[in-house]
Amino acid sequence: MIGRFLDAFFRHKLLVLLPVVVIPLIVGPVSYAMAPSYYESWATVWTERPDYLQSNNDTNTWITPAQIQRDRLQELLGSRAFVLDVARRTPYAALLGSRNGQDRAYDLIVRNVGISTSGSHLLAIRYRGQNPQLTVQVLNALFEAYQEKSSEDQASQGELAISFYQGQLKDAQDRLDKASENLRQYVAANPRITMPDVVSGGGAVVVRPALSPALVDPKAADLMRTLDSEQRNLENIKQSLDRAQLAVAVAQQGQELGFQVVDAPQPANAPTRERKRVLVFPIAGLLLGLGLSTGLLILLVAGDRSIRNENDLAGVTRVVGSIPQLQARRPRHLLGPHSTRRAIGFTAGAALPAPGDAR
């Protein structure tokens, strides 16, 4: 079977190799001529992780700041609201009047933005557009929207934490006042216990009996422990509230330090052709040519009805006999350009001299 394929290939090699040669030669120049050109702008961002904002930060310490910012940017680019917010700050805002226009703007921004890291802190971001000014505008809008989004998220989280701790502080203050009042009433109901010292400060009333622990009964001791516990709880909540307020106060500054554009985007001087399409289409044409050549070779073999050996006659007719193919071995002295002339001379019975023989 392999012999039939080889025989068909060598008998029709020009026809078989034609698709492999012609299709890439046609597709290559056409794909290069039709490959779209674009302008590409780059910007580099220095990322950092401020130490004073790490009190409640649950990010993985093994991930670099550049990877954190890259992952967050990529996740935001998957959000339609964020991408449309970027589009509103660019000439793409003219497309946002309809749903189809919004889809078009979303696709143009997401498909042409590229983000990569270089080291632990450097982030490289590029955008490809139809004109150089558009690429710069989209990158600037992306940075502006990202920084605003980060600041709003940090401020919102901080305000939520402040509101939570303020509610906890009010509840803790109420419990402390109740514990202090319970101890005061118990001391008033038991004259044997000396009047406690009352210390007030910061809106909290702390009652401490002026007795040694040995003279205080178990009920008074339990009330004192409750009072001390509520006082410590109040102080802890105050510290948490102070930290939350500090985090909100420095959120904007921390975002500016953690995401700094060190190389602003610049318009490209000349357009660039899309190399991917220039390379992919000729390769696809070569694969298509190989497929067509293979299919053509199979058709040639399937359509060949030539008889080459006894096996080809099996099931078709009866083979009576076969004549083997004989190959005569010619003597070495008959080989050469004068072998025919010598054969004729031998047959005629005369030995004719060879050229150059002495007469």
3-class secondary structure, 5: helix
Distance, in Å, from the CA atom of 180 to the CA atom of 200, rounded to the nearest integer, reads 11
Confidence band for 98, pLDDT divided at 50, 70 and 90: very high
Model confidence at 60: pLDDT above 50: yes
Rounded Cα distance between 359 and 357, Å, is 6
pLDDT score recorded for residue 6:
78
Whole-model pTM: value is: 0.56
| pLDDT of res. 89 | 93
Q: What angle do CA 330, 334, 340 make, to 5 degrees?
A: 110
What's the pLDDT score for residue 346?
60
29-38 pLDDT, tens digit each: 777 666 667 7
3-state DSSP of 178-244: HHHHHHHHHHHHCCCCCCCEEEEECCEEEEECCCCHHHCCHHHHHHHHHHHHHHHHHHHHHHHHHHH
Instruction: At 199, list the tokens.
Output: 């210390």
Strand-pair category, 37-47 with 259-263: antiparallel
pLDDT of residue 56: 45
Among 24-28, 67-71, 171-175, 337-341, the minimum mean pLDDT is found in 337-341
Write the CATH number of the domain with boundaries 38-160+250-272.
Answer: 3.30.1890
Q: Where are the domains of the chain?
A: 1-35+274-289, 38-160+250-272, 161-249
Residues contacting 308, CB < 8 A, separation 6+: 3, 4, 7
User: Is the separation of the CB atoms in 138 and 109 below 8 Å?
Assistant: yes
Per-residue pLDDT at 295: 87
Work out the percent of the chain whose per-residue pLDDT is above 90: 19
Q: Which residue has the tokens 């003597």?
A: 331
- Mean pLDDT over 77-85 rounds to 92
Residue type at 124 in one-letter notation: A
Using pLDDT thresholds of 50, 70 and 90, give the confidence band for residue 319. low
Q: What does the pLDDT average to over 195-201?
A: 48
Report the range out of 81-95, 220-234, 300-314, 325-339 with the highest average pLDDT.
81-95
The mean pLDDT value for 235-247 works out to 83
Residue 126: strand pairing partners: 42, 114
Residue among 73, 162, 71 at smallest CA distance from 110: 73
Task: Supply the pLDDT for residue 57.
Answer: 47
Mean of per-residue pLDDT scores for the chain: 77
Residues 133-141, mean pLDDT to the nearest whole number? 93
Please give the pLDDT value at position 214.
40
**Which among 132-141, 165-174, 220-229, 289-298 has the top mean pLDDT?**
132-141
With beta carbons less than 8 A apart as the criterion, state whether 47 and 116 touch.
no
DSSP 239-276: HHHHHHHHHHHTHHHHHHHHEEEEE-----SS-EE-HH
Give the tokens for residue 51.
Answer: 């130490």
Residues 244-277 pLDDT 10s: 777 777 665 656 667 888 889 988 888 777 667 6
Higher-pLDDT residue of 117 and 152 is: 117
Residues 301, 303, 309, 315, Cα dihedral to 10°: 120
- Which among 224, 155, 229, 151 is positioned nearest to 193, based on CA atoms? 224
Q: What is the reported pLDDT for 106? A: 94
pLDDT at 184 over 90: no
Which of 97-101, 142-146, 209-213, 287-291 shows the lowest mean pLDDT across its residues?
209-213
In the chain, the N- to C-terminal Cα span, in Å, equals 60
202 or 229, higher pLDDT: 229
Q: What is the mean pLDDT of residues 92-117?
A: 92
Residue 314: pLDDT over 80: no
